[in-house]
Structure 1
Amino acid sequence: MDVRQMIESITRELLQSMNGSQEKRPKWLFIFCDSTAHEPFADQFIALQNHGICHDILFLDGETSSWLGMHRIECGGAGKIIATDEYAPAPLELPKEYDGIAIPEIDLDNAARVATGLKGTIKAEIIFSALVLGKPVLVGEDVPGIKRADRRCLRTLSLPGPYRTLFLRHLDGMRELGVEFAAQNGMADAIIRKQEDVQREVVLAGSGEHAPQSRQPVAAKLVTADWVQSQADFPDQMLILRHGAIVSPLAMDVLKEKGIVVRYVR
Protein backbone atom coordinates (compact mmCIF):
# COMPACT_ATOMS: atom_id res chain seq x y z
CA MET A 1 0.00 0.00 0.00
CA ASP A 2 1.49 3.34 -1.03
CA VAL A 3 1.36 6.51 1.06
CA ARG A 4 -1.65 7.94 -0.77
CA GLN A 5 -3.73 4.82 -0.18
CA MET A 6 -2.65 4.66 3.46
CA ILE A 7 -3.65 8.29 4.07
CA GLU A 8 -6.98 7.74 2.34
CA SER A 9 -7.65 4.62 4.42
CA ILE A 10 -6.85 6.42 7.69
CA THR A 11 -9.01 9.38 6.69
CA ARG A 12 -11.93 7.09 5.89
CA GLU A 13 -11.65 5.40 9.29
CA LEU A 14 -11.50 8.74 11.10
CA LEU A 15 -14.53 10.08 9.28
CA GLN A 16 -16.47 6.89 9.91
CA SER A 17 -15.64 7.01 13.63
CA MET A 18 -16.69 10.67 13.80
CA ASN A 19 -19.95 10.04 11.97
CA GLY A 20 -20.73 6.94 13.97
CA SER A 21 -21.68 8.94 17.06
CA GLN A 22 -23.79 11.43 15.09
CA GLU A 23 -27.40 11.03 14.06
CA LYS A 24 -27.69 9.74 10.51
CA ARG A 25 -28.91 12.46 8.22
CA PRO A 26 -30.86 11.74 5.03
CA LYS A 27 -28.84 12.11 1.85
CA TRP A 28 -29.97 12.43 -1.75
CA LEU A 29 -28.02 12.02 -4.97
CA PHE A 30 -28.44 14.75 -7.60
CA ILE A 31 -27.59 13.78 -11.18
CA PHE A 32 -26.70 16.59 -13.57
CA CYS A 33 -25.97 16.50 -17.29
CA ASP A 34 -22.63 18.29 -16.98
CA SER A 35 -20.43 20.15 -14.53
CA THR A 36 -22.25 23.47 -14.99
CA ALA A 37 -25.88 22.31 -14.83
CA HIS A 38 -25.91 22.41 -11.01
CA GLU A 39 -25.17 26.14 -10.68
CA PRO A 40 -28.83 27.35 -10.76
CA PHE A 41 -29.58 24.97 -7.86
CA ALA A 42 -27.23 26.63 -5.32
CA ASP A 43 -30.12 28.13 -3.32
CA GLN A 44 -31.95 24.81 -3.27
CA PHE A 45 -28.86 23.09 -1.88
CA ILE A 46 -28.77 25.69 0.90
CA ALA A 47 -32.44 24.98 1.67
CA LEU A 48 -31.70 21.25 1.90
CA GLN A 49 -28.75 21.87 4.20
CA ASN A 50 -30.86 24.10 6.44
CA HIS A 51 -33.35 21.23 6.81
CA GLY A 52 -30.64 18.71 7.70
CA ILE A 53 -30.63 16.94 4.32
CA CYS A 54 -27.28 16.10 2.76
CA HIS A 55 -26.64 15.65 -0.94
CA ASP A 56 -24.03 14.42 -3.38
CA ILE A 57 -23.70 15.52 -7.00
CA LEU A 58 -23.06 13.18 -9.92
CA PHE A 59 -21.82 14.92 -13.07
CA LEU A 60 -22.46 13.07 -16.30
CA ASP A 61 -19.43 13.12 -18.58
CA GLY A 62 -21.52 11.54 -21.32
CA GLU A 63 -24.32 9.04 -21.80
CA THR A 64 -22.30 6.18 -20.32
CA SER A 65 -19.80 7.86 -18.00
CA SER A 66 -19.90 10.24 -15.05
CA TRP A 67 -17.97 11.68 -12.13
CA LEU A 68 -18.86 11.27 -8.44
CA GLY A 69 -16.22 13.20 -6.54
CA MET A 70 -12.88 11.96 -7.84
CA HIS A 71 -14.23 8.62 -9.02
CA ARG A 72 -15.08 7.97 -12.64
CA ILE A 73 -18.12 5.73 -13.18
CA GLU A 74 -18.70 4.08 -16.52
CA CYS A 75 -21.65 2.16 -17.93
CA GLY A 76 -20.75 -0.43 -20.54
CA GLY A 77 -24.22 -1.87 -20.96
CA ALA A 78 -26.18 -4.68 -19.36
CA GLY A 79 -24.12 -7.58 -18.01
CA LYS A 80 -20.80 -5.74 -17.94
CA ILE A 81 -18.65 -4.51 -15.07
CA ILE A 82 -19.12 -0.77 -14.70
CA ALA A 83 -16.18 0.87 -12.92
CA THR A 84 -12.88 2.31 -14.08
CA ASP A 85 -11.06 2.57 -10.77
CA GLU A 86 -11.04 0.33 -7.73
CA TYR A 87 -13.17 2.65 -5.60
CA ALA A 88 -15.76 3.66 -8.20
CA PRO A 89 -19.18 2.07 -7.65
CA ALA A 90 -21.31 0.75 -10.48
CA PRO A 91 -24.45 2.79 -11.31
CA LEU A 92 -26.63 -0.04 -9.98
CA GLU A 93 -24.89 0.22 -6.60
CA LEU A 94 -25.33 3.97 -6.09
CA PRO A 95 -28.96 4.05 -4.83
CA LYS A 96 -28.01 1.76 -1.93
CA GLU A 97 -26.16 4.65 -0.27
CA TYR A 98 -28.89 7.29 -0.66
CA ASP A 99 -32.37 8.01 0.60
CA GLY A 100 -33.49 9.23 -2.80
CA ILE A 101 -32.42 10.17 -6.32
CA ALA A 102 -33.04 13.61 -7.85
CA ILE A 103 -32.69 14.13 -11.60
CA PRO A 104 -33.54 17.73 -12.53
CA GLU A 105 -33.50 17.05 -16.28
CA ILE A 106 -34.52 13.99 -18.26
CA ASP A 107 -34.40 13.62 -22.05
CA LEU A 108 -36.34 11.59 -24.61
CA ASP A 109 -33.72 8.84 -24.85
CA ASN A 110 -33.44 8.23 -21.11
CA ALA A 111 -37.20 8.58 -20.57
CA ALA A 112 -37.79 5.92 -23.23
CA ARG A 113 -35.24 3.59 -21.62
CA VAL A 114 -36.77 3.98 -18.16
CA ALA A 115 -40.38 3.62 -19.33
CA THR A 116 -39.59 0.43 -21.26
CA GLY A 117 -37.27 -1.09 -18.65
CA LEU A 118 -34.07 -0.73 -20.68
CA LYS A 119 -30.60 0.09 -19.33
CA GLY A 120 -27.43 1.23 -21.05
CA THR A 121 -27.07 4.75 -19.63
CA ILE A 122 -26.14 6.07 -16.18
CA LYS A 123 -29.56 7.64 -15.56
CA ALA A 124 -31.52 4.60 -16.74
CA GLU A 125 -29.52 2.20 -14.58
CA ILE A 126 -29.69 4.36 -11.46
CA ILE A 127 -33.45 4.90 -11.81
CA PHE A 128 -33.98 1.17 -12.36
CA SER A 129 -31.94 0.29 -9.29
CA ALA A 130 -33.62 2.92 -7.10
CA LEU A 131 -37.14 1.79 -8.04
CA VAL A 132 -36.26 -1.87 -7.46
CA LEU A 133 -34.91 -0.95 -4.02
CA GLY A 134 -38.00 1.11 -3.21
CA LYS A 135 -36.08 4.38 -3.10
CA PRO A 136 -37.86 7.57 -4.26
CA VAL A 137 -36.87 9.02 -7.63
CA LEU A 138 -37.69 12.69 -8.26
CA VAL A 139 -37.43 14.05 -11.82
CA GLY A 140 -37.87 17.58 -13.15
CA GLU A 141 -41.19 17.90 -14.96
CA ASP A 142 -40.67 21.23 -16.77
CA VAL A 143 -37.95 20.04 -19.14
CA PRO A 144 -37.79 20.22 -22.96
CA GLY A 145 -36.88 16.55 -23.43
CA ILE A 146 -33.83 17.30 -25.54
CA LYS A 147 -30.31 16.94 -24.11
CA ARG A 148 -28.26 20.00 -23.22
CA ALA A 149 -25.52 18.90 -25.62
CA ASP A 150 -28.06 18.41 -28.42
CA ARG A 151 -29.56 21.84 -27.78
CA ARG A 152 -26.15 23.43 -28.14
CA CYS A 153 -25.29 21.39 -31.24
CA LEU A 154 -28.62 21.74 -33.07
CA ARG A 155 -29.28 25.31 -31.85
CA THR A 156 -32.82 24.47 -30.78
CA LEU A 157 -34.54 24.50 -27.40
CA SER A 158 -37.41 22.06 -27.83
CA LEU A 159 -38.51 18.87 -29.53
CA PRO A 160 -40.82 18.99 -32.57
CA GLY A 161 -44.46 18.11 -32.01
CA PRO A 162 -44.41 14.34 -32.68
CA TYR A 163 -41.28 13.83 -30.56
CA ARG A 164 -42.79 15.97 -27.78
CA THR A 165 -45.91 13.78 -27.78
CA LEU A 166 -43.72 10.68 -27.59
CA PHE A 167 -41.72 12.22 -24.75
CA LEU A 168 -44.87 12.97 -22.72
CA ARG A 169 -46.04 9.40 -23.29
CA HIS A 170 -42.79 8.08 -21.84
CA LEU A 171 -43.13 10.40 -18.83
CA ASP A 172 -46.54 8.83 -18.13
CA GLY A 173 -44.86 5.42 -18.33
CA MET A 174 -42.28 6.55 -15.79
CA ARG A 175 -45.07 7.67 -13.46
CA GLU A 176 -46.63 4.23 -13.71
CA LEU A 177 -43.32 2.73 -12.55
CA GLY A 178 -43.24 5.01 -9.50
CA VAL A 179 -41.13 7.96 -10.63
CA GLU A 180 -42.30 11.26 -9.13
CA PHE A 181 -42.10 14.65 -10.83
CA ALA A 182 -41.68 18.21 -9.59
CA ALA A 183 -40.80 21.58 -11.08
CA GLN A 184 -37.05 22.15 -11.31
CA ASN A 185 -37.20 25.23 -9.09
CA GLY A 186 -39.17 23.31 -6.48
CA MET A 187 -37.18 20.09 -6.22
CA ALA A 188 -35.69 21.00 -2.84
CA ASP A 189 -39.17 21.73 -1.45
CA ALA A 190 -40.40 18.36 -2.76
CA ILE A 191 -37.47 16.55 -1.14
CA ILE A 192 -38.00 18.38 2.16
CA ARG A 193 -41.71 17.46 2.17
CA LYS A 194 -40.87 13.85 1.36
CA GLN A 195 -38.35 13.59 4.19
CA GLU A 196 -40.81 15.23 6.60
CA ASP A 197 -43.43 12.66 5.57
CA VAL A 198 -40.93 9.85 6.16
CA GLN A 199 -40.05 11.22 9.59
CA ARG A 200 -43.72 11.64 10.45
CA GLU A 201 -44.45 8.05 9.44
CA VAL A 202 -41.56 6.83 11.59
CA VAL A 203 -42.90 8.77 14.58
CA LEU A 204 -46.42 7.48 14.04
CA ALA A 205 -45.16 3.91 13.68
CA GLY A 206 -43.20 4.24 16.91
CA SER A 207 -46.22 5.56 18.79
CA GLY A 208 -48.60 2.98 17.35
CA GLU A 209 -50.79 5.69 15.79
CA HIS A 210 -52.07 5.80 12.23
CA ALA A 211 -51.85 8.59 9.72
CA PRO A 212 -54.97 10.76 9.47
CA GLN A 213 -57.58 9.75 6.95
CA SER A 214 -56.96 12.86 4.86
CA ARG A 215 -53.49 11.59 4.01
CA GLN A 216 -54.63 8.20 2.74
CA PRO A 217 -54.10 7.64 -1.01
CA VAL A 218 -56.97 8.14 -3.43
CA ALA A 219 -58.30 4.88 -4.84
CA ALA A 220 -58.53 6.18 -8.41
CA LYS A 221 -56.32 4.38 -10.94
CA LEU A 222 -56.84 7.07 -13.59
CA VAL A 223 -57.04 10.76 -12.69
CA THR A 224 -58.69 12.91 -15.36
CA ALA A 225 -59.18 16.66 -15.59
CA ASP A 226 -62.95 16.23 -14.99
CA TRP A 227 -62.25 14.26 -11.82
CA VAL A 228 -59.91 16.96 -10.52
CA GLN A 229 -62.48 19.68 -11.24
CA SER A 230 -65.18 17.70 -9.44
CA GLN A 231 -63.26 17.60 -6.15
CA ALA A 232 -64.31 20.19 -3.57
CA ASP A 233 -60.82 20.55 -2.15
CA PHE A 234 -57.53 18.75 -1.60
CA PRO A 235 -56.27 18.46 2.02
CA ASP A 236 -52.90 20.17 2.48
CA GLN A 237 -52.98 21.07 -1.25
CA MET A 238 -51.85 17.53 -1.99
CA LEU A 239 -53.18 14.64 -4.08
CA ILE A 240 -51.91 11.30 -2.79
CA LEU A 241 -52.03 8.35 -5.19
CA ARG A 242 -50.80 4.81 -5.11
CA HIS A 243 -47.90 3.80 -7.36
CA GLY A 244 -49.29 2.78 -10.71
CA ALA A 245 -52.04 5.40 -10.79
CA ILE A 246 -52.06 7.46 -14.01
CA VAL A 247 -52.59 11.22 -14.17
CA SER A 248 -53.59 12.46 -17.62
CA PRO A 249 -51.58 15.39 -19.05
CA LEU A 250 -54.66 17.66 -18.96
CA ALA A 251 -55.33 16.68 -15.34
CA MET A 252 -51.70 17.48 -14.49
CA ASP A 253 -52.15 20.95 -16.01
CA VAL A 254 -55.28 21.54 -13.92
CA LEU A 255 -53.49 20.37 -10.76
CA LYS A 256 -50.62 22.80 -11.46
CA GLU A 257 -53.09 25.66 -11.91
CA LYS A 258 -54.64 24.84 -8.54
CA GLY A 259 -51.24 24.49 -6.88
CA ILE A 260 -51.85 20.83 -6.03
CA VAL A 261 -48.82 18.62 -5.44
CA VAL A 262 -49.04 14.96 -6.52
CA ARG A 263 -47.47 12.34 -4.23
CA TYR A 264 -47.19 8.63 -4.85
CA VAL A 265 -47.13 6.06 -2.05
CA ARG A 266 -46.97 2.29 -1.98
Structure 2
Amino acid sequence: MDIREMVASITKEILQSMNQEKKPPAPRVLYVFCDSQAHEAFADHFIQLKNHGICHDILFLDGETSSWLGMHKIECGGAGKILTADEYAPIPLEVPKEYAGIVIPEIDLDNAARVANGLKGTIKAELVFSALVTGKFVLVGSDVPGIKRADRRTLATLTLPPAYEKLFHRHVQEMKELGVEFAEQKRLADKVIAKLNAGKKKEEAAPGQPVLTALDETEAVFSGRLLTADWIRSQPQLRNTTLYVKQGSIVSPLAYDSLRERGVTVSYLGKG
Protein backbone atom coordinates (compact mmCIF):
# COMPACT_ATOMS: atom_id res chain seq x y z
CA MET A 1 0.00 0.00 0.00
CA ASP A 2 1.47 3.33 -1.05
CA ILE A 3 1.27 6.49 0.96
CA ARG A 4 -1.78 7.79 -0.91
CA GLU A 5 -3.80 4.63 -0.28
CA MET A 6 -2.78 4.69 3.38
CA VAL A 7 -3.88 8.32 3.78
CA ALA A 8 -7.16 7.58 2.01
CA SER A 9 -7.81 4.57 4.24
CA ILE A 10 -7.07 6.49 7.45
CA THR A 11 -9.19 9.42 6.30
CA LYS A 12 -12.08 7.07 5.52
CA GLU A 13 -11.90 5.48 8.97
CA ILE A 14 -11.82 8.88 10.66
CA LEU A 15 -14.85 10.10 8.70
CA GLN A 16 -16.77 6.91 9.46
CA SER A 17 -16.04 7.21 13.17
CA MET A 18 -17.13 10.86 13.14
CA ASN A 19 -20.41 10.00 11.41
CA GLN A 20 -21.30 7.25 13.84
CA GLU A 21 -23.84 8.36 16.39
CA LYS A 22 -22.44 8.34 19.87
CA LYS A 23 -24.61 6.46 22.34
CA PRO A 24 -25.42 8.46 25.44
CA PRO A 25 -23.67 7.10 28.53
CA ALA A 26 -25.68 4.85 30.80
CA PRO A 27 -27.24 6.67 33.76
CA ARG A 28 -25.35 6.25 37.01
CA VAL A 29 -26.52 6.53 40.62
CA LEU A 30 -24.56 6.67 43.86
CA TYR A 31 -25.49 4.50 46.85
CA VAL A 32 -24.25 5.84 50.21
CA PHE A 33 -23.75 3.26 52.96
CA CYS A 34 -22.85 3.65 56.62
CA ASP A 35 -19.98 1.14 56.49
CA SER A 36 -18.36 -1.53 54.32
CA GLN A 37 -20.88 -4.20 55.33
CA ALA A 38 -24.16 -2.32 54.95
CA HIS A 39 -24.26 -2.84 51.16
CA GLU A 40 -24.41 -6.63 51.32
CA ALA A 41 -28.19 -6.65 51.80
CA PHE A 42 -28.60 -4.68 48.55
CA ALA A 43 -26.92 -7.12 46.15
CA ASP A 44 -30.25 -7.84 44.43
CA HIS A 45 -30.80 -4.10 43.97
CA PHE A 46 -27.56 -3.80 42.02
CA ILE A 47 -28.47 -6.77 39.81
CA GLN A 48 -31.85 -5.18 39.12
CA LEU A 49 -30.24 -1.86 38.19
CA LYS A 50 -27.74 -3.57 35.89
CA ASN A 51 -30.53 -5.47 34.12
CA HIS A 52 -32.16 -2.11 33.36
CA GLY A 53 -28.97 -0.55 32.02
CA ILE A 54 -28.30 1.58 35.09
CA CYS A 55 -24.82 1.80 36.58
CA HIS A 56 -24.11 2.39 40.23
CA ASP A 57 -21.22 3.35 42.48
CA ILE A 58 -20.93 2.76 46.21
CA LEU A 59 -19.66 5.26 48.75
CA PHE A 60 -18.72 3.89 52.19
CA LEU A 61 -18.75 6.25 55.14
CA ASP A 62 -15.64 6.24 57.28
CA GLY A 63 -17.17 8.19 60.14
CA GLU A 64 -19.36 11.25 59.66
CA THR A 65 -16.90 13.55 57.90
CA SER A 66 -14.98 11.15 55.66
CA SER A 67 -15.83 8.39 53.20
CA TRP A 68 -14.38 6.14 50.51
CA LEU A 69 -15.45 6.19 46.85
CA GLY A 70 -13.36 3.52 45.18
CA MET A 71 -9.75 4.32 46.08
CA HIS A 72 -10.48 7.98 46.84
CA LYS A 73 -10.90 9.20 50.39
CA ILE A 74 -13.42 12.03 50.44
CA GLU A 75 -13.53 14.43 53.38
CA CYS A 76 -15.79 17.28 54.41
CA GLY A 77 -14.02 20.62 54.22
CA GLY A 78 -14.26 23.15 57.02
CA ALA A 79 -13.41 26.84 57.02
CA GLY A 80 -9.79 27.18 55.94
CA LYS A 81 -9.21 23.43 56.01
CA ILE A 82 -6.77 21.97 53.49
CA LEU A 83 -7.33 18.37 52.38
CA THR A 84 -4.13 16.38 52.36
CA ALA A 85 -5.38 12.80 52.57
CA ASP A 86 -6.10 12.52 48.84
CA GLU A 87 -5.35 15.50 46.61
CA TYR A 88 -7.19 13.92 43.66
CA ALA A 89 -10.43 13.16 45.51
CA PRO A 90 -13.46 15.40 44.97
CA ILE A 91 -15.05 17.23 47.86
CA PRO A 92 -18.56 16.03 48.80
CA LEU A 93 -20.22 18.97 47.02
CA GLU A 94 -18.60 17.90 43.73
CA VAL A 95 -19.58 14.23 43.91
CA PRO A 96 -23.26 14.46 42.77
CA LYS A 97 -22.24 16.15 39.49
CA GLU A 98 -21.29 12.72 38.08
CA TYR A 99 -24.59 11.04 38.97
CA ALA A 100 -28.26 11.13 38.01
CA GLY A 101 -29.22 10.77 41.64
CA ILE A 102 -28.16 9.86 45.16
CA VAL A 103 -29.57 6.88 47.11
CA ILE A 104 -29.21 6.83 50.90
CA PRO A 105 -30.79 3.62 52.25
CA GLU A 106 -30.49 4.72 55.87
CA ILE A 107 -30.47 8.15 57.46
CA ASP A 108 -30.25 9.05 61.14
CA LEU A 109 -31.55 11.82 63.36
CA ASP A 110 -28.36 13.89 63.18
CA ASN A 111 -28.11 13.89 59.38
CA ALA A 112 -31.87 14.36 58.96
CA ALA A 113 -31.66 17.46 61.15
CA ARG A 114 -28.73 18.83 59.16
CA VAL A 115 -30.48 18.29 55.82
CA ALA A 116 -33.78 19.72 57.05
CA ASN A 117 -32.05 22.87 58.30
CA GLY A 118 -29.74 23.31 55.30
CA LEU A 119 -26.62 22.58 57.35
CA LYS A 120 -23.44 20.91 56.15
CA GLY A 121 -20.61 19.28 58.09
CA THR A 122 -21.24 15.60 57.29
CA ILE A 123 -20.83 13.59 54.09
CA LYS A 124 -24.55 12.77 53.81
CA ALA A 125 -25.70 16.33 54.50
CA GLU A 126 -23.33 17.81 51.93
CA LEU A 127 -24.20 15.22 49.27
CA VAL A 128 -27.93 15.87 49.72
CA PHE A 129 -27.45 19.64 49.67
CA SER A 130 -25.39 19.51 46.47
CA ALA A 131 -27.75 17.06 44.72
CA LEU A 132 -30.88 19.10 45.48
CA VAL A 133 -29.27 22.40 44.48
CA THR A 134 -28.14 20.92 41.13
CA GLY A 135 -31.52 19.30 40.38
CA LYS A 136 -30.55 15.67 41.02
CA PHE A 137 -32.97 13.33 42.77
CA VAL A 138 -32.30 12.08 46.30
CA LEU A 139 -33.91 8.83 47.51
CA VAL A 140 -33.84 7.87 51.19
CA GLY A 141 -35.07 4.72 52.93
CA SER A 142 -38.34 5.39 54.75
CA ASP A 143 -38.37 2.33 57.00
CA VAL A 144 -35.38 3.26 59.17
CA PRO A 145 -35.22 3.73 62.96
CA GLY A 146 -33.47 7.10 62.88
CA ILE A 147 -30.50 5.87 64.91
CA LYS A 148 -27.29 5.07 63.02
CA ARG A 149 -25.75 1.61 62.88
CA ALA A 150 -22.74 2.50 65.01
CA ASP A 151 -24.98 3.99 67.72
CA ARG A 152 -27.21 0.91 67.70
CA ARG A 153 -24.19 -1.29 68.32
CA THR A 154 -22.72 0.97 71.00
CA LEU A 155 -25.97 1.61 72.89
CA ALA A 156 -27.40 -1.90 72.27
CA THR A 157 -30.76 -0.47 71.21
CA LEU A 158 -32.68 -0.50 67.93
CA THR A 159 -35.03 2.46 68.28
CA LEU A 160 -35.13 6.05 69.42
CA PRO A 161 -37.15 7.04 72.50
CA PRO A 162 -40.57 8.56 71.66
CA ALA A 163 -39.48 12.20 71.95
CA TYR A 164 -36.49 11.73 69.63
CA GLU A 165 -38.59 9.61 67.26
CA LYS A 166 -41.14 12.41 66.99
CA LEU A 167 -38.34 14.87 66.28
CA PHE A 168 -36.90 12.55 63.62
CA HIS A 169 -40.24 12.27 61.79
CA ARG A 170 -40.60 16.05 61.85
CA HIS A 171 -37.21 16.37 60.15
CA VAL A 172 -38.25 13.73 57.60
CA GLN A 173 -41.31 15.79 56.71
CA GLU A 174 -39.13 18.89 56.31
CA MET A 175 -36.76 16.92 54.05
CA LYS A 176 -39.71 15.96 51.84
CA GLU A 177 -40.60 19.64 51.53
CA LEU A 178 -37.05 20.31 50.31
CA GLY A 179 -37.41 17.69 47.57
CA VAL A 180 -36.00 14.53 49.18
CA GLU A 181 -38.04 11.45 48.27
CA PHE A 182 -38.61 8.47 50.55
CA ALA A 183 -39.37 4.83 49.79
CA GLU A 184 -39.08 1.50 51.58
CA GLN A 185 -35.56 0.13 51.40
CA LYS A 186 -36.69 -2.90 49.40
CA ARG A 187 -38.25 -0.57 46.78
CA LEU A 188 -35.35 1.85 46.33
CA ALA A 189 -34.10 0.14 43.16
CA ASP A 190 -37.67 0.11 41.74
CA LYS A 191 -37.93 3.82 42.49
CA VAL A 192 -34.60 4.56 40.75
CA ILE A 193 -35.65 2.60 37.66
CA ALA A 194 -39.07 4.29 37.57
CA LYS A 195 -37.59 7.78 37.87
CA LEU A 196 -34.93 7.27 35.19
CA ASN A 197 -37.36 5.53 32.84
CA ALA A 198 -39.92 8.29 33.34
CA GLY A 199 -37.33 10.91 32.42
CA LYS A 200 -36.27 8.93 29.37
CA LYS A 201 -39.84 8.44 28.21
CA LYS A 202 -40.62 12.13 28.56
CA GLU A 203 -37.66 12.89 26.29
CA GLU A 204 -38.65 10.27 23.71
CA ALA A 205 -42.43 10.48 23.89
CA ALA A 206 -44.28 11.91 20.92
CA PRO A 207 -46.94 14.55 21.60
CA GLY A 208 -50.05 12.92 23.02
CA GLN A 209 -48.30 9.66 23.92
CA PRO A 210 -49.42 8.38 27.37
CA VAL A 211 -46.92 8.99 30.14
CA LEU A 212 -46.89 7.61 33.68
CA THR A 213 -45.93 10.17 36.31
CA ALA A 214 -45.00 8.85 39.76
CA LEU A 215 -46.12 11.12 42.58
CA ASP A 216 -44.57 8.98 45.33
CA GLU A 217 -44.32 5.29 46.22
CA THR A 218 -48.12 5.04 46.67
CA GLU A 219 -49.55 7.18 43.85
CA ALA A 220 -49.08 7.75 40.10
CA VAL A 221 -50.92 9.55 37.29
CA PHE A 222 -51.78 8.29 33.76
CA SER A 223 -51.92 11.13 31.22
CA GLY A 224 -53.50 9.31 28.25
CA ARG A 225 -57.07 8.83 27.04
CA LEU A 226 -57.04 5.02 26.64
CA LEU A 227 -55.52 2.71 29.25
CA THR A 228 -54.81 -0.74 27.80
CA ALA A 229 -53.33 -3.98 29.10
CA ASP A 230 -50.42 -3.62 26.66
CA TRP A 231 -49.51 -0.24 28.15
CA ILE A 232 -49.66 -1.69 31.66
CA ARG A 233 -47.28 -4.49 30.65
CA SER A 234 -44.81 -1.80 29.49
CA GLN A 235 -44.78 -0.35 33.03
CA PRO A 236 -43.14 -3.05 35.22
CA GLN A 237 -42.76 -0.60 38.14
CA LEU A 238 -46.52 -0.07 38.39
CA ARG A 239 -47.44 -2.22 41.39
CA ASN A 240 -49.29 -1.88 44.70
CA THR A 241 -50.22 1.75 44.15
CA THR A 242 -53.11 4.06 43.30
CA LEU A 243 -53.26 5.07 39.63
CA TYR A 244 -55.08 8.33 38.87
CA VAL A 245 -56.64 8.79 35.42
CA LYS A 246 -58.38 11.83 33.94
CA GLN A 247 -62.15 12.13 33.76
CA GLY A 248 -63.31 10.76 30.42
CA SER A 249 -60.37 8.40 29.99
CA ILE A 250 -61.22 4.83 29.02
CA VAL A 251 -59.85 1.83 30.93
CA SER A 252 -60.23 -1.43 29.02
CA PRO A 253 -61.56 -4.55 30.84
CA LEU A 254 -58.24 -6.35 30.32
CA ALA A 255 -56.45 -3.34 31.78
CA TYR A 256 -58.64 -3.54 34.88
CA ASP A 257 -57.75 -7.22 35.24
CA SER A 258 -54.01 -6.51 34.86
CA LEU A 259 -54.18 -3.69 37.40
CA ARG A 260 -56.06 -5.85 39.87
CA GLU A 261 -53.39 -8.57 39.58
CA ARG A 262 -50.71 -6.00 40.42
CA GLY A 263 -52.59 -4.59 43.38
CA VAL A 264 -53.25 -1.26 41.62
CA THR A 265 -56.36 0.76 42.42
CA VAL A 266 -57.82 3.09 39.75
CA SER A 267 -59.14 6.49 40.81
CA TYR A 268 -60.49 9.28 38.59
CA LEU A 269 -59.11 12.78 39.02
CA GLY A 270 -61.65 15.33 40.16
CA LYS A 271 -64.14 12.70 41.27
CA GLY A 272 -65.46 13.26 44.74
Q: Report the TM-score, using the length of structure 1 for normalisation.
A: 0.71
Is 1:101 paired with 2:102?
yes
Is 1:48 paired with 2:34?
no
The CA deviation at 1:73 is 0.7
- 1:28 partner SS: strand
- Assess, with a 3 A threshold, how the Cα gap between structure 1 residues 180 and 239 changes in structure 2: closer, same or farther: farther
- Assess, with a 3 A threshold, how the Cα gap between structure 1 residues 44 and 212 changes in structure 2: closer, same or farther: same
What stretches of structure 1 move > 2 A for 4+ residues in a row?
20-23, 76-84, 210-218, 233-240
- Assess, with a 3 A threshold, how the Cα gap between structure 1 residues 168 and 110 changes in structure 2: closer, same or farther: same
Is 1:196 paired with 2:197?
yes
Is the 1:77–1:121 contact (alpha carbons within 8 Å) kept by the matching residues of 2?
A: no
The CA deviation at 1:77 is 3.1
Within 2, Cα distance between the matches of 1:172 and 1:78? 30
Is the 2:77–2:91 contact (alpha carbons within 8 Å) kept by the matching residues of 1?
A: no
- Assess, with a 3 A threshold, how the Cα gap between structure 1 residues 43 and 95 changes in structure 2: closer, same or farther: same
- 2:145 partner SS: coil
2:85 counterpart residue number: 84
Within 2, Cα distance between the matches of 1:184 and 1:216? 17
- Assess, with a 3 A threshold, how the Cα gap between structure 1 residues 92 and 234 changes in structure 2: closer, same or farther: closer
Compare relative contact order (CA 8 Å, sep 6+) and give the higher one, 1 or 2: 1
Deviations 1:65-98 (A, max 9, x none): 0000011011133664556312200000000000
2:160 counterpart residue number: 159
Within 1, Cα distance between the matches of 2:111 and 2:33? 13
2:268 counterpart residue number: none
Give the 5 Å matches for 1:145-224.
145-204=146-205, 207=206, 209=207, 212=210, 215=213
- Assess, with a 3 A threshold, how the Cα gap between structure 1 residues 83 and 200 changes in structure 2: closer, same or farther: farther
Within 1, Cα distance between the matches of 2:97 and 2:203? 20
1:249 counterpart residue number: none
- 2:46 partner SS: helix
- 2:203 partner SS: helix
Deviations 1:167-193 (A, max 9, x none): 000000000000000101111011011
- Assess, with a 3 A threshold, how the Cα gap between structure 1 residues 259 and 126 changes in structure 2: closer, same or farther: farther
| Bigger mean CA deviation after superposition, 157-166 or 84-93 | 84-93
2:111 counterpart residue number: 110
1:57 counterpart residue number: 58
The CA deviation at 1:58 is 0.2
2:226 counterpart residue number: none
1:31 counterpart residue number: 32
Within 1, Cα distance between the matches of 2:98 and 2:221? 34
- Assess, with a 3 A threshold, how the Cα gap between structure 1 residues 213 and 186 changes in structure 2: closer, same or farther: closer
Within 2, Cα distance between the matches of 1:216 and 1:37? 28
Within 2, Cα distance between the matches of 1:216 and 1:109? 29
C-alpha RMSD of matched pairs (Å): 2.8
1:143 counterpart residue number: 144
Deviations 1:107-155 (A, max 9, x none): 0000000000000000000000000000000000000000100000000
Within 1, Cα distance between the matches of 2:210 and 2:22? 34
Q: Number of matched residues? A: 209
What one-letter code is carried by the residue in structure 2 that aligns with 1:145?
A: G
Structure with bigger gyration radius: 2
Q: Which structure features the higher share of helix residues?
A: 1
Is the 2:243–2:264 contact (alpha carbons within 8 Å) kept by the matching residues of 1?
A: no
Q: Report the TM-score, using the length of structure 2 for normalisation.
A: 0.70
- 1:38 partner SS: helix
- Assess, with a 3 A threshold, how the Cα gap between structure 1 residues 211 and 41 changes in structure 2: closer, same or farther: same
Identity of aligned residues (%): 62
- Assess, with a 3 A threshold, how the Cα gap between structure 1 residues 216 and 105 changes in structure 2: closer, same or farther: closer
- 2:195 partner SS: helix
Is the 1:73–1:82 contact (alpha carbons within 8 Å) kept by the matching residues of 2?
A: no
